[in-house]
Amino acid sequence: MIYIKDLKSGLNIYKALSSEIRIQILELLANNQSLNLNDIATKLGLSNSVITMHIKKLEESGLIEINTAVGKHGIQKICYLNEEKLVVDLRSKEISNRYEVEIKVGHYSDYAASPTCGLATKDSIVGDFDDPRFFADPMRIDAEIIWLSEGYLEYKIPNYLKSNQSFEEIQFSMELGSEAPGYNDHYPSDIYFYINDVEIGCWTSPGDFGDIRGTFNPDWWPPHLNQYGMLKLIRITRTGSYIDGCRISDVTLDDVRLNYQSQINFRIAVTEKSVNKRGLTIYGKHFGNYSQDLLVRVLYNVQDGGGRAGE
């Protein structure tokens, strides 16, 4: 997902989207996963030179990615959507004080897991499939994919604020999906999010996706298992909680009562209250379609002119 928090930073994207032809190219890629330049030109009834010009602008904006591949007629340029969502925050304000941390998905501090369940590093399965005991294995800190049918994963988020600083917003970005035996693209699951045991909202994952191989999956990962998820951005602010820019609850930072001395525990869960109780899968840097683990961004204010957190 491309998240534009500062309007001016999205100028290249706005320009790329100002052409009807480029919109049609994006629609083609959304419906076909990937296409080469000849395919796009044929489908739109345009010359390769015209398509090349538009593809260049889309690539420069970050909306698409181009890879080269050897085909029957020589080297081909294959086009893919770089991200599946674009979110523009129109009412956000510039906040210069922030810090980011990326936490491996295996670095959870607490868990509960019911089969089907398991975890794997980029090199191998940790323990055995469907045995929750291995969620306590020391190798779990290197896990890059974790799945469970019911339960939760909880992560401790570093709090670097000083006494003269206060939380303005916390963002969590991660690749998530449901959990079916093997995979099932139509398998909705209600996944809940908590900060310090306060429920901030729920997202219904549409499925456990396996129709095509995940971009970053290691070669040994079996094709009959889940392959990728959806990149989600959860935000809790002083006005409410949001996912991908859509409000999911009225819970605010004030409700969570965070200050510079607080522990921050972030929990992802499928519980008894889930109407669609079909598990969760979280993908790390070496699995799925996004090269990232659990990415956390903290935005904060400084009351008395102090420095940034961690300085």
Q: Report pLDDT digits (tens) over 58-71.
A: 998 889 988 887 76
Under 8 Å CB-to-CB from 84, ≥6 apart: which residues? 1, 30, 230, 231
* pLDDT one-digit tens code per residue, 253-291: 999 999 999 999 999 999 999 899 999 999 999 999 999
Domain boundary among 86, 104, 122: 86
How many structural domains compose the chain? Answer: 2
Crossing angle of helices 37-44 and 20-32, rounded to 10°: 120
Euclidean distance between CA atoms 73 and 182, whole angstroms? 37
What average pLDDT does the chain have?
91
Where on the phi/psi map is residue 279: left (φ > 0), alpha (ψ -120 to 50), or beta?
Answer: left
Domain boundary among 35, 68, 86: 86
- CATH value at residue 154: 2.60.120.260
| pLDDT the model gives residue 4 | 73
* pLDDT one-digit tens code per residue, 96-121: 699 999 999 999 999 999 999 999 99
DSSP summary character for residue 217 = -
Do 58 and 112 belong to one domain? no
Of 137, 98, 95, 93, the C-alpha closest to 119 is 137
Do 127 and 176 belong to one domain? yes
Range of the domain at 13: 2-86
Query: Where would I find the H helices in the chain?
Result: 11-16, 20-32, 37-44, 48-61, 253-256
Euclidean distance between CA atoms 292 and 278, whole angstroms? 24
* pLDDT one-digit tens code per residue, 155-182: 999 999 999 999 999 999 999 999 999 9
In a domain, 82, yes or no: yes
In a domain, 311, yes or no: no
Give the DSSP H or E segment for 155: strand 145-157
Euclidean distance between CA atoms 204 and 188, whole angstroms? 6
In a domain, 269, yes or no: yes
Do 240 and 278 belong to one domain? yes
Euclidean distance between CA atoms 46 and 234, whole angstroms? 40
Euclidean distance between CA atoms 294 and 141, whole angstroms? 13
Using the Cα atoms of residue 239, residue 197, residue 190 and residue 286 in order, give the sign of their dihedral: positive
Other residues' Cβ atoms within 10 Å of the Cβ of residue 311 = 8
Do 161 and 262 belong to one domain? yes
In a domain, 172, yes or no: yes
Would you state the torsion angle of the CA atoms of residues 148, 212, 215, 74, taken in this order, to the nearest 10 degrees?
170
Do 63 and 122 belong to one domain? no
